[in-house]
Amino acid sequence: MADFDPLTIPAPLPESVPRVETNGHPTIEQMQQEIAQTAWMQSNVASTNTRLNLVTDAVGSVSAAVETEAATRATADTALASTMTTVEAKTNAATASGQVYLAAKAAPSGATAAYGWYLTAGDAYAGMQAMALSGGGSAIGFTANQFYFTDAGTAQAVFSYIGGGRWVLNGAMIIRSGASGERVEITNRGVYCYDGNGVLRVEVGFLT
């Protein structure tokens, strides 16, 4: 076990601080004490290659917490490193949380790196995950009811996905081929096909 400062061990609650409410439930002070002791044990005793930082606050049934965990593990032929931050806010009526993680693993079978974030508010959920594999291949996935690309200059959603399978493009679409000049342009006025010399050959839509 790694060396640690014994002065960092959470002190017991003073005798004057009540541990139990009149209804038999633990007091806020008691719960905060238990959380602090658990965090200290995880950081200093339970696993010397894992560090957990926890910040909490609560008033009655309303609570808020921020937890950051960093972990490393190495064997003769495998290495793993990860970090994760979680935030959570609760009341009687609602709950919201968010999580960000980053992990990397290297082993004889290959290496993997992953990054992601998740957001939850009530029944609503959004998330993103990115992954790269040393054996070949990478992927990025998004989960949401709506998805936007916004022009920084105009603050207009130039490309978006709206739940129900609807895709919205605010602007023209240009599809190019490998040959110089050949392309198809799609606008709100029509569809236009150009040959390799850039000459318009097919036009469908408003022709005036």
Q: What is the pTM of this model?
A: 0.59
Sheet architecture: strand order including 50-59 = 50-59, 62-74, 79-90, 95-107, 110-121, 124-133, 138-143
Spatial distance between the Cα atoms of 42 and 31, rounded to a whole number of angstroms: 17
| Residue found by looking up tokens 């005798």 in the block | 15
CB 191 within 8 A of CB 205: yes
| Residue found by looking up tokens 């790694």 in the block | 2
DSSP 7: G
Spatial distance between the Cα atoms of 19 and 2, rounded to a whole number of angstroms: 32
Spatial distance between the Cα atoms of 72 and 170, rounded to a whole number of angstroms: 46
Q: What's the pLDDT tens digit per position in 115-168? A: 999 999 988 889 999 999 998 889 888 888 888 888 777 777 777 877 777 778
Q: What's the pLDDT tens digit per position in 17-60? A: 888 888 777 788 888 878 887 777 666 554 457 788 889 998 98
